[in-house]
Chains A and B, each alone.
Chain A
Amino acid sequence: MAEAVLEIKNLETHLASREGAVKAVNDVSFSLIQGETLGIVGESGSGKTMTALSIMGLVPNPPGEVVGGSVILDGENITELSDSEVRKRRSTKMGMVFQDPGTSLNPTMKVGPQIAETMQLHLGVDEATARRRTVEILERVGIPSPESRYYDYPFQFSGGMRQRAMIAIALSCDPLLLIADEPTTALDVTVQAQLLDLVRDLKAERGMSVIWITHDLGVVAELCDRVAVMYAGHIVETGSVDQIFTSPKHRYTSLLLKSLPSMAKRSSDKLTAIAGLPPSLANLKPGCPFAPRCDAPVDRCLEENPALMEAGDNQFAACWNTLADGEHS
C-alpha cells in the first residue's frame, strides 16, 4: 500500500451564523494515496466545497473556522501551520481549480503572464524560463498555438479554454494534490468530456492525486477511483467506484443513484426523487441526519448518529440499517 499523500482526520469546520455555529464539515476523515482520484459527491450544502477549502486553508474567516481535526499533507499538518507557511504550500503541494472559469482569471492581465507569475513566485525561475514552461504547459492542456495565445486576454478565450488555462495554472508548480471544485459544471458536455480526458491523462503522467468535487455522478463514474458521499457535513459512505455504483450500502447513496436517469429506463418512467430537504446544519438533531428522509429508518436512527462502519471490502457506510447485498436494484 502506497503512502498516503493526504490524510484527513476528524475535520470539523464551523461557520458562524445568527442561529449559531453551522457545522459545515462534521467529523470528516479520509485519506488519499499517490495517484488516486477521490470523488466527493453530495447535494448542494452538504459540505463538499467547505471540505476542499479546509484542506487548502482557504476557509473564509470570518465567518468560517476549522475548529478541530487535522489535515496532513505530505507529512505536514496544514491546520497547524502559520498562514504564510500554508501560502507556500499552495501551488507547490496543492492546487485548486474553481467552478466558474469565466471569472477565475484576472480580466486585466494576459493569460500567459498570469500563469508565468505563479512559477516565478513559487519556483524562483526567471521570466524567460517561466514563459517557456508556460507555453509548454498551455500546449499540454490543449490550447492550440500557445505562443500566439500567450499574450491574449482572458476574454479572448472560450469557457473551455479558460478552464484549461486554470488547470494549467494549478499544475504549473507540479502539486502533489489537485483539488477540483466542480470544474466542469459551467461547461457544456462535449467540453466537459474533453477536460475529463485531459485530467485523467495529466494525472497518469504526473502521478498526482486528485480530489474531484461534483454532484454529477456520471463524472465520478468516468474519472474516479474512490468515492466519498457527503450528506449534511458528514461522509456517509466511501468505497470504490464499483462498490458505490453496484452495491451501495447506505440508503442515501442508493436513493441518490435511483434518482439518476438511465438508458435502461423508459422515457415514460418517472425519476425517483428523495422527499424532503437536507437538514439545517445550524441545529442538527441527535440521530442520523438523513433519518427523516430515509426510506427504511429504524428506531436507532433517531437516537444515535452512526459512525462509518465497515460494510464491505474497504467500503464504509454510516448507517444503522445498511442495504443487504443485492437490495439496491
Chain B
Amino acid sequence: MSEKAASTTGMEDFEFVKQRSLWLDALERLIRNRAAMFGLFICTLIIFIAIFGSVLAPKDYLRTNISNIAGGPTTENWLGTDLVGRDVLSRLMHGTRTAVFAAAITVVLGNFIGITLGALAGYLRGLVDDLIMRVTDILFSFPDFLFAAFLSASLRTPVVKLLAQLKQKTGWEFLDQTIFIDYMLLFGALAMVNWSGTARLVRGQILSLREHDFVRAEIALGMPTWLIIRKHLIPNSIAPVIVGISSGIGGILLLESSLSFLGLGIQPPAASWGDMINTALPLWRQFPWLVLLPGGTLAIAVFGFNYLGDGINDALNPRQIQR
C-alpha cells in the first residue's frame, strides 16, 4: 500500500505501461497479409525512387541526343532512348517523382478539404449540410476526368497571369516556370475532383457517430464543438478515409497520366509517365517498348497501391479483430 502511495506522489515515478493499441493490432494484421506486403514493397520502392530519382538517374533526363533516336537498350542507355534521344530510364525515374508528388499533394489537399467540409456538414447539419452536399452532388454529376480536364484547361490563363503578378511582387524566379505552373494546375485540378468523395464518406460517418453516447457524454462534459469534432468525431471516422486514400492513390496516378496523355497535365520537357506514353503512341508499331515501359511502370504502381489499400482495409476492419 505504501509503495502505491509513493508512486502516486511524484510524476517522474510513473511507469505508464503502453499496451497494444488498435493501430498496433491493425499493423500486425497488415504484416500477415502477403499481398499487402507485396504492395507495400512496391509503394516503398516507388516512393524511394521518387525522392532520390534525380540522384539515382544515370543520365540527365532532359538531354537530347539526335544521333541516338529511339535506340534499344545498350550499356550506355539501359532502357534505350526516346524519340529525341533522351534516356528512358532517367525519364521514368523523374516521371515517378511527378506521379508520387501529384498523388501525395492531391491526397493531402483533397482529403483535408473533404474531411473538414464533410465533418462540418455532418455535425452542424441544416443549411451548412445542404450547401456542402449540393456542391458535392454537382461535382459528382460531372465525370471526374472531364471535370479535371476542364479545370486544368480553363484555369491555365488566369493562373499564369496571377503567378506572373506574384513574381513581380515577390521576385521569386520559380513562379513563372512552366513546370511549376503545370504542377500547380495539375494538383489543383486533381484535388478539386478528389475531395467530394471523402466529404461524403466523412459526413456519413459523422452523422451516425454524433448520435453515439460518447458524443453526448462529451457535450455533457462541456467540450466545445470544434474539440468534439477534431478529437472525437474525426478520429472515429478516419479508418474508411485511410482505406479510401490508399486505394485511391492508384486512381490518382492513372488520372495524372491520363491528363498528361491528353496534353492537359505535365507538359514536356518535364517527365510524366502519361506524357511519355502520349509522345510514343503514334509510333508504337515501330518502337513498342517506348509505350510499354512507362505503361508497365504505371500498371505496377497502380497494382502496388491497390494491394496495399486492400490490405489496410482488411486490417482496419473491426469485424476481423477476433481471429
A118 sits at the interface (CB 8 A): yes
User: Is A285 among interface residues, defined by CB-CB distance under 8 A?
Assistant: no
A195 CB–B CB distance under 8 Å: no
Residues of A130-151 whose CB lies within 8 A of B = 131-132, 135-136, 139, 147-148, 150-151
User: In the complex, what residues of A have CB within 8 A of residue B18's CB?
Assistant: 151
A319 within 8 A of B: no
Choose among B14, B22, B232 the residue that contacts A135 (Cβ–Cβ < 8 A).
B14
**B137 within 8 Å of A (CB atoms):** no
C-alpha spacing A137/B22, complex, angstroms: 25
Which residues of A are found within 8 Å of B216, using beta-carbon distances? 58, 98, 104
Does B2 lie at the interface of the complex (its beta carbon under 8 Å from any beta carbon of A)? no
Chain B residue, CB-CB nearest to A99:
B213
Pair B223/A121 contact, Cβ less than 8 Å: yes
Taking a contact as CB atoms under 8 Å apart, the answer to whether A108 and B19 are in contact is no
Question: Would you give the shortest CB distance from A61 to chain B, in whole angstroms?
Answer: 12
Q: Are A148 and B214 in contact (CB under 8 A)?
A: no
Q: How far, in whole Å, are A245 and B218 apart by their CA atoms in the complex?
A: 36
Q: How far is the CA of A272 from the CA of B4 in the complex (A)?
A: 52
Q: CB of A96 within 8 A of chain B?
A: yes
- Interface membership of chain A positions 96-132, coded 1 if the CB is closer than 8 angstroms to chain B and 0 otherwise: 1011100111111110000001100110000010011
Whether B22 lies near A153 (C-beta < 8 A) is yes
Q: Mark B216-259, 1 if CB is under 8 A from A, else 0.
A: 11111111100100011001100000000000000000000000
A90 contacts which of B11, B14, B19, B220 (Cβ < 8 Å)? Answer: B220
A13 at the B interface (CB under 8 A) = no
Residues of A within 8 A of B227 (CB): 121
Check B214 against A169 for contact (C-beta < 8 Å): no
State the Cβ distance, B110 to closest chain A Cβ, in Å. Answer: 23
CB distance from B125 to the nearest CB of A (A): 10
Shortest CB–CB separation between residue A206 and chain B, in angstroms? 17
Interface string of B1-44 (1 = CB under 8 A from A): 00010011001001111110110000000000000000000000
Say yes or no: B232 contacts A104, CB within 8 Å. no
Most chain-B CB neighbours within 10 Å: which of A88, A99, A121, A147? A147
Interface size on B, residues (CB 8 A): 29
Find chain B residues with CB under 8 A from A103 CB: 212-214
Residues of B within 8 A of A122 (CB): 222
Residues of chain B lying within 8 A (CB to CB) of residue A54 = none
Distance in angstroms between the alpha carbons of A166 and B218 in the assembled complex: 11
Q: Smallest CB–CB gap between B188 and chain A, Å?
A: 32
Q: How far is the CB of B236 from chain A (nearest CB, A)?
A: 5
Residue of B7, B11, B231 near A117 (CB, 8 A) is B231
User: Measured between C-beta atoms, what is the minimum distance from B235 to chain A in Å?
Assistant: 5
A169–B221 Cα gap in the complex (Å)? 8
Q: Tell whether, in the assembled complex, residue A108 and residue B222 are in contact, meaning their CB atoms are under 8 Å apart.
A: no
- What is the chain B residue whose CB lies nearest that of A146? B8
Closest A-chain residue to B224, C-beta based? A87
A131–B10 Cα distance when bound, in Å, is: 11
CA distance A153 to B15 in the complex (A): 17
Known: A98-B213, A103-B213. A108 touches B15 (CB 8 A): no
B16 partner, pick from A87, A118, A150, A166, beta carbons under 8 A: A150
- Report chain A residues within 8 Å CB of B21: 110, 153
Chain B residues with Cβ below 8 Å from A100 are: 213
Interface centre among B7, B11, B221, B235 (most CB of A within 10 A): B221
Q: Are B220 and A96 in contact (CB under 8 A)?
A: yes
A121-B222, A136-B8, A169-B221 given; A104·B213 CB < 8 A: yes
Compute how far the CA of A107 lies from the CA of B217 in the bound complex, rounded to whole angstroms.
13
Minimal beta-carbon separation of A132 from chain B (angstroms): 6
Which residues on the B side are within 8 Å of A107 (C-beta)?
214, 236
Contacts A95-B221, A98-B213, A147-B14 hold; do A156 and B19 have CB atoms under 8 A apart? yes
On whether the beta carbons of A118 and B217 are closer than 8 Å, the reply is no
User: B29: shortest Cβ distance to chain A, in Å?
Assistant: 16
The residues of B that contact A91 with a CB separation of less than 8 Å are: 221-222
* Whole-angstrom distance between the Cβ of A121 and the nearest chain B Cβ: 7
Other-chain residue from B7, B14, B15, B214 in contact with A105 (beta carbon distance below 8 A):
B214
Tell me if A46 counts as interface (CB < 8 A to partner B). no
Q: Which residue of A lies closest to B21 (CB)?
A: A153
Given A103-B214, A132-B11, CB of A148 within 8 Å of CB of B16: yes
The 0/1 profile, CB within 8 Å of A marked 1, for residues 284-314 of chain B is: 0000000000000000000000000000000
A110-B21, A122-B222, A128-B11 known; 8 new pairs, CB 8 Å cut-off, are A89-B222, A98-B217, A106-B218, A107-B214, A108-B236, A118-B222, A132-B8, A132-B11
**B residues lining the A interface (CB < 8 Å):** 4, 7-8, 11, 14-19, 21-22, 212-214, 216-224, 227, 231-232, 235-236
Q: List residues of chain A with CB under 8 Å of any chain B CB.
A: 56, 58, 84, 87-92, 95-96, 98-100, 103-110, 117-118, 121-122, 128, 131-132, 135-136, 139, 147-148, 150-153, 156, 166, 169-170
Q: Can you spell out 16 A-B residue pairs with CB atoms less than 8 angstroms apart?
A: A87-B222, A99-B213, A103-B212, A104-B213, A106-B232, A108-B22, A108-B235, A108-B236, A118-B223, A121-B222, A131-B11, A135-B8, A139-B4, A148-B17, A150-B16, A151-B18
Per CB-CB distance, the 5 closest pairs between chain A and chain B, nearest first, are A90-B222, A148-B17, A103-B213, A96-B220, A104-B213
